[in-house]
Amino acid sequence: MEARCLERGLVVWLTGLPGSGKTTIAEGVAERLRSEGFKVEVLDGDWARATVSEGSGFTREERIRHLKRIAWIARLLARNGVVVLCSFVSPYRDARRMVREIVEEEVPFVEVYVKASLEEVMRRDPKGLYKKALKGEIKHFTGVSDPYEPPDSPDLVIDTERESVEESVDRLYRAVINLIKLRG
């Protein structure tokens, strides 16, 4: 398959509670875009904390510093024609605003709120983190001992309690493709 090179890529920032489905959706969209020849990177919290932000903590200041690093990496990739799908809890509105400002200096930024209630993500608890946080074994855990501030006006809301994974992936994929087409 011939690669479809974009002059400038874009950054899609998926935010939501841990376990809401951010990375699952990002990976699904990435797979579809790659199958069409687009250059795509998925950046997620687990990867970032094991590599570029190794040892980074979870206090407000540490999270903001961590997200700033990711914003610059995403911007660099996108300005080189990559569609960058970022999956980060990014719990604070001011931190997401900072990320948007960094990215939008050069490339489009799309904020996607992956919405799921605290009750639902605690039920899912794919990594057992909520259970540990409720026992006090994890400090500064979003939704338990640290706040999550939902976006005021995200570009797209994906409600993973009401939509299947396939529906969520399809909605985000269509939004990304439409943005690519608009930019021509």
According to DSSP, the β-strands at 109-115 and 156-159 are parallel
Structure tokens at 48: 């970032």
Q: How many CB atoms lie within 10 A of CB 54?
A: 8
Cβ contacts of 24 within 8 Å, gap of 6 or more: 165
The residues annotated with a catalytic role in the active site are 90
Rounded Cα gap, residues 87 and 57, in angstroms: 17
Q: How many CB atoms lie within 10 A of CB 110?
A: 20
Burial of 163 (0-12, 13-18, 19+ CB in 10 A): middle
**Can you say whether the dihedral through the CA atoms of 49, 53, 54, 58 is positive or negative?**
negative
